[in-house]
Amino acid sequence: MTVQTAPPVGEESGNRLPKATAKARKQREAAARKEILAPVSGMLTVASLLVALASVCSVVPFLLIVAACRELLESPVDTDRVWWLFGAAVIVLVVRALLQVVALTWSHAVDAGYQLTLRRLLAAKLTRVPLGWFGERSSGEVKGYLRDDVDALHFLVAHARLDFIGAAVVPLVTLGYLFTVDWRLTLVLMIPLIAYFVLFGKIMDRDGRDRLAVYTRWERRLSAATVEFVDGIQVVRAFGQAGKAHKEFQDAVEGQVTAAHRMKTPIIRVQAASDIVVMPVFVMLVVVLGGLAGVGLGWVDPLDLLPFLLVGLGIGSSLLGLGYGSQALRAGGAAALRLHELLQTPELDITETPAGVQTGVVRFEGVEFAYRTGHDVLRGIDVELTPGTITALVGPSGSGKSTLAKLLPRFYDVGAGRITIDGRDIREFTSEELYRTVGFVFQDVRLIRGSIRENLLLARPDADDAAIERATRAAQIHDRILALPRGYDSEIGVDATLSGGEAQRLSIARALLADTPVLVLDEATAFADPESEAAVQDALAALVSGRTVLVIAHRLHTITGVDRILVLDNGTLVEQGTHARLRAAGGLYQQLWQINEDALGALALVEETR
């Protein structure tokens, strides 16, 4: 478990995105939405047509009632026609309700199938992206893709588009009809509607959109921080880092509140004004005043005011729906873009030709590597690791030790050159074959939610109890497991709360059980928990025998006896040899050794003076 600090959210100061960037983003969003919805777009068009028809049907009864009212004011009254008109209005209303139900049922059915397909697609994708992809993201962020974004798409597929179409068709049909009744009065009616659009446009101007984007990012950061905080609380506390994790959570809460405030304050003011201009009372006032003036001037027949008052007043509320619908469409668009980007992430390419590993000779040939962020981290690495030997990687912090080690289990793929095991490029291994060949124990121990046994069996699902016990005994964790309330069936986080060191010994047992010919270790696993340090060291010793072992060393005195030491400096291999030879050479290793000695001396002094 690592305590991850989320990337800076940026733009908190309210800086605008450059216009071109905002436009490009909008275009990318539209393209991503189109592409990701492509599998359902045909079916959604059918649902949209049904909703459009239902919306027309929601206006028609008013028109029939207006016609009936006009008839009632005639003399003599044609009662049959009045009844017929009212009857027709009721029938159209029923048809509208039916159409609406069919459209919504249809869109939900389409969405249910689509969500399943999409989640499967994403899950399959996650099994193919490089492992390093997860290292760069917190579990909260990954949850964001699988849950929040897919949910946002549900709203887009099942509701937003239909709501938007409904909200757009009603005012269009109504205005079209009113235009045929009296075009001048229709223009008067449009004054509050246009005012609404102008005000609404103000809410969603570039500043507003930027503030919404900042708010959305804070919201995601909060969601990630919450998951990290809750998920990692035991491990984080075991490492004495509760304050730090809590701080990240607290910062995220505060940031989200500030961003919400910044986003909503201007919106609330403008929204209040825009809501007022489309309120039925306000629209009625405008229509009555305009209508009376028209009647006074002899432009308008007093009877023609009737449809405006009956039908026109409802336009405002449907416009409100249009506003909310467009916001939902935008949120869905952003989610679609993120999912689209995830689906475009390059995958580990595998030319599956399983062959089986015989010995486990590992060779790095001209290996170069750079993270997405740019500068070269590793350059020209040529090295061979032979079975039955331990090779230690040393070097100043940031020199590339962890990166080099992580290339072997393919957390990342080399940028140039290749890594082979028994002469075969590791990119040709199936992922299963690779994990049967290369075991690793890194600092950030990941345990899955489940029992201790399930966690161990991840390495070798067919292992029997005897094999499991051999591994846990060698990793010095067997007795601790037996002391748990339900032994091997205790659930991590429920009745099995492990300290950092214990979790690491469990992961060492897992690596032992996997019994892989090649092993990559981070020696810092021994650091986490001073009480179990000796136990972890013994466990590691059991793990390495007879294998090809690469160990990232942080404390030089623990690796003086290894077969070979590789010294990395700024991404290149500057020295290699045994401890004695490298010390005699008087290069970087000798300097590092001196620093290490001085540090140990200082530590001993502190102990003495206590």
Q: Which residues bind ligand ADP (CB under 6 A)?
A: 135-136, 371, 373, 377, 395, 397-403
Sequence-ordered alpha helix ranges (H) in 278-348: 280-296, 305-311, 315-344
CB of 377 to ligand ADP, least distance (A): 4
Question: For residues 557 and 598, what is the distance between their CA atoms, to the nearest angstrom?
Answer: 12
- Asked if 445 and 492 touch (Cβ cutoff 8 Å), the reply is no
CB of 559 to ligand ADP, least distance (A): 15
Question: Nearer to ligand ADP by C-beta: 399 or 490?
Answer: 399
CB of 500 to ligand ADP, least distance (A): 19
- Asked if 550 and 393 touch (Cβ cutoff 8 Å), the reply is yes
Q: What does R_g of the chain's alpha carbons equal in angstroms?
A: 34
User: What is the C-alpha end-to-end distance of the chain, expressed in Å?
Assistant: 33
CB of 413 to ligand ADP, least distance (A): 14
Question: Nearer to ligand ADP by C-beta: 180 or 397?
Answer: 397
Question: For residues 53 and 42, what is the distance between their CA atoms, to the nearest angstrom?
Answer: 17
Question: Nearer to ligand ADP by C-beta: 136 or 533?
Answer: 136
Buried-state track 77-96, b at ≥16 Cβ within 10 A, e below 16: eeeeebeebeebbeebeeeb
Question: For residues 517 and 360, what is the distance between their CA atoms, to the nearest angstrom?
Answer: 6
CB of 589 to ligand ADP, least distance (A): 14
Question: For residues 153 and 547, what is the distance between their CA atoms, to the nearest angstrom?
Answer: 49
Question: Nearer to ligand ADP by C-beta: 405 or 539?
Answer: 405
CB of 382 to ligand ADP, least distance (A): 18
Question: Nearer to ligand ADP by C-beta: 401 or 478?
Answer: 401
CB of 574 to ligand ADP, least distance (A): 13
Question: Nearer to ligand ADP by C-beta: 398 or 601?
Answer: 398
Question: For residues 308 and 314, what is the distance between their CA atoms, to the nearest angstrom?
Answer: 10
CB of 137 to ligand ADP, least distance (A): 10
- Asked if 546 and 552 touch (Cβ cutoff 8 Å), the reply is no
CB of 444 to ligand ADP, least distance (A): 12
Question: Nearer to ligand ADP by C-beta: 400 or 517?
Answer: 400
Question: Nearer to ligand ADP by C-beta: 133 or 488?
Answer: 133
CB of 441 to ligand ADP, least distance (A): 15
Q: Which of 53, 66, 42 is nearest to 92 (CA)?
A: 53
The beta-strand segments (E) located in 341-499 are: 362-370, 376-385, 390-394, 416-421, 424-425, 438-441
CB of 8 to ligand ADP, least distance (A): 15
Question: For residues 275 and 365, what is the distance between their CA atoms, to the nearest angstrom?
Answer: 68
Task: Supply φ then ψ for residue 355, to 5 degrees.
Answer: -135, -20
Task: Give the angle subtended at the CA of 59 by the CAs of 105 and 173, to the nearest 5°.
Answer: 100
Question: Nearer to ligand ADP by C-beta: 370 or 457?
Answer: 370
- Crossing angle of helices 79-126 and 315-344, in 10° steps, is 20
Q: Which of 138, 222, 220, 169 is nearest to 51 (CA)?
A: 169
Question: Nearer to ligand ADP by C-beta: 254 or 444?
Answer: 444
- Asked if 513 and 463 touch (Cβ cutoff 8 Å), the reply is yes
Question: Nearer to ligand ADP by C-beta: 161 or 401?
Answer: 401
